[in-house]
Amino acid sequence: MWVAMVDLGWIGGRRRRKAVYASTERAVLAKRDQLRADHAKGVNLAAPPRTVAAWLHEWLTTVKSSDGTGPATRARYEQIVRVHLVPQIGSVKLTALSPRHVQGLVADLQKTAAPASVIKVHGVLRNALADAERMDLICRNVAKAVRPPKLPRNERRALTPAEAGSLLDQLKDDRLEAVFIVAMTTGLRRGEVLGLRWQDTDLDGRALFVRQAVQRVGGELKMVPPKTHRSSRPIPLPRMAVTALSAQRVRQANDRLLVGPAWTDHGLVFASEVGTPLEPRNVNRRFYSARTAAGLDWVRLHDLRHAFATFLLDQGEELRTVMDLLGHSTIRLTADTYGHVLPSRARTAADAIDRILGER
C-alpha cells in the first residue's frame, strides 16, 4: 500500500495535512496531484467528509430556501431527492461522487420511469452539484458528464379557430366563461388566471398585469409569485377579453350582494361564490365537460395557452412578441415549443421572394 501526504497549510491554528492511499506508486501520485489541484481551486479539503444525502439536505434547507425558488418547485425537488437521489446515491461521499455513479442512477431510472421523469431527476442533481461546485465543496459537477435521455418530440395538434369557437359556445353564459376566454385570449397559465386581482386589471386601458398565481402548496391553495422573473408581465387585452371581464365584474357584484357579510374579499377577479380562491380542479372539471360536449376530448386546459400562441404566429406575429406575451424565459423555449407553426411562415416568406423577384 502506497501513501502520499498533501500539505494544506495552516487551518484553524494548526497545520493540516491530508493523506491519500493506493495500491501502486503511480496511482497514489495521481491521487496526490488531483488533491493538490483541488486544493489550488479552493476546495475545502479539511472539512469533514459529507455524503451526497447530507449535502442534498443542506442544499434544500439552506440554498433553495433563500434563492427565490418557489415553494411548489422546492416541494418537487424534495420529493425527487427523497424518492430517487438519496436511495440511489445518498450514501456516496460527495467528493467521491463520479460520473459512473450518475450514469448508474440514470440507467436504473430508465428501466422504470419515463424519459421526462429521468430528465427531471438528473436536472435536480445537476442543479445541486452546481451549487456544491460554486461553494468549493467539489472540484467539478460530475452530472454534466452524463447525458440524460432525449425527450421524444410529440407535437400536439393545436386548436383551430373553428374548434376554439365551438368550445367557447359550450361555455356561453357559464359562471366560469370568462376564465376560459381570458386564458384563450391572453395565453395566461391556469394559476395566473386564477390569481388575477381587479387591481391588476385596467379595462379602460385594455391591459392586465401578471403579479401572482394560485398554486397548491402543502395541500393548501396559496398565492405565489409568477413562475419566472419574465412571468411578471403586462398583457394587452383584446376587446373580447375586456367584454368578458366587464361581465365578470357585474356577476361578482351580484354574488357579493347575495351572500352579504359571508363574502371574503381577496380582491380576486375569479372567485368562488363567497370570494375565496377558485379550486383549480373544479375549473378543470368544467373544462372537461365543455370539451366533451364540443367533441374535443383531446384538448387540455393548457392547450388554450398553446392555441393563443399558435393563432398569433399564424397571423405573422414575431416570435419575440409571442415569447414576451407568454412569459417564456428564453426565445429558444418559444421556438422549440411552437416550431411546428414556423414552416408555414417560411413558405409565406418564400412566396414573398417570388413576389419581389418573380418578374425578373
211-254 pLDDT, tens digit per residue, is 999 988 777 888 888 766 666 778 899 999 999 999 999 999 99
Please tell me the predicted confidence (pLDDT) of residue 351: 62
Please tell me the predicted confidence (pLDDT) of residue 14: 72
Please tell me the predicted confidence (pLDDT) of residue 350: 59
| CATH number of 131's domain | 1.10.150.130
152 occurs within a structural domain: no
Check if the beta carbon of residue 325 is closer than 8 Å to that of residue 314: no
State the Cα–Cα distance between residues 19 and 39, nearest whole angstrom: 13
Q: pLDDT higher for 323 or 44?
A: 323
Verify that 196 and 231 share a domain, yes or no: yes
250 occurs within a structural domain: yes
Q: Which of 110, 102, 107 is nearest to 146 (CA)?
A: 102
Q: Taking the model in full, what pTM does it have?
A: 0.68
Q: Which three cell numbers stand for residue 310?
A: 399558435
Q: pLDDT higher for 324 or 146?
A: 146
For the beta carbon of residue 202, count every other beta carbon within 10 angstroms.
13
Verify that 266 and 199 share a domain, yes or no: yes
Verify that 14 and 64 share a domain, yes or no: no
The number of folded domains in the chain is: 3
State the Cα–Cα distance between residues 216 and 316, nearest whole angstrom: 37
Verify that 21 and 70 share a domain, yes or no: no
Verify that 121 and 69 share a domain, yes or no: yes
Verify that 264 and 339 share a domain, yes or no: yes
pLDDT at residue 284 is higher than 70: yes
Helix (H) or strand (E) holding 291: helix 280-293
SS3 38: helix
SS3 190: helix
Range with lowest mean pLDDT among 43-52, 71-80, 189-198: 43-52
Please tell me the predicted confidence (pLDDT) of residue 230: 63
Sign, CA dihedral 113-116-117-121, equals positive
Please tell me the predicted confidence (pLDDT) of residue 271: 94
Mean pLDDT of the chain: 85
99 occurs within a structural domain: yes
Which range marks the domain in which residue 96 is found? 52-145
pLDDT at residue 65 is higher than 70: yes
Verify that 300 and 323 share a domain, yes or no: yes
Please tell me the predicted confidence (pLDDT) of residue 283: 95
State the Cα–Cα distance between residues 26 and 60, nearest whole angstrom: 39
| CATH number of 280's domain | 1.10.443.10
Verify that 274 and 307 share a domain, yes or no: yes
